[in-house]
Chains A and B, each alone.
Chain A
Amino acid sequence: EAAVTQSPRNKVTVTGGNVTLSCRQTNSHNYMYWYRQDTGHGLRLIHYSYGAGNLQIGDVPDGYKATRTTQEDFFLLLELASPSQTSLYFCASSRTGGARAEQFFGPGTRLTVL
């Protein structure tokens, strides 16, 4: 069955730390997304990509970098983590872009920045 996996599932780091969140999809999808979800907010798009080597900026990109190394793998990098980046992070994939396509989500990574 097609799947989106994320690692780690939980991560604790300190302010100023360096964190990489990983996402892999076996759906053969072109599009991949990184979201964050905080209490009182819906999912907010950080970055997305429509293919290996491509990167598009989302709605809340500040403090985050992303890299799509292959069709399957999409990474989110926090180079100087701050407490404001404590959140639940979701990765997703879709066959085509945005407005109509069903997105398939990973189980999430809970990040705590102390």
Chain B
Amino acid sequence: QKEVEQNSGPLSVPEGAIASLNCTYSDRGSQSFFWYRQYSGKSPELIMSIYSNGDKEDGRFTAQLNKASQYVSLLIRDSQPSDSATYLCAVDLDSSYKLIFGSGTRLLVRP
């Protein structure tokens, strides 16, 4: 079992829709969770961090964390073609200050 798992996609949604991206992780001791956006050929860009169970909203982005079920998700409201990218989930597994990444989910937003 991979330590951080994501569906590779692509996830295709129409412009204006809600995109839902999911991630599961293996270690119950993890305390810090991050979402990065990566455009093709570019480096990852941090877009959300979440540390407590529940929802955290930032503009069109909402991160959701459920530690009991060991999953974290990212919702993108009013999706735009410019949101088309690969979204990487990263977890500080076992709170060791070592950031482990999933393989990413490719999102395509159709105009």
Q: Tell me, yes or no, whether A binds B.
A: no
- Interfacial residues, chain B to chain A (CB-CB below 8 A): none
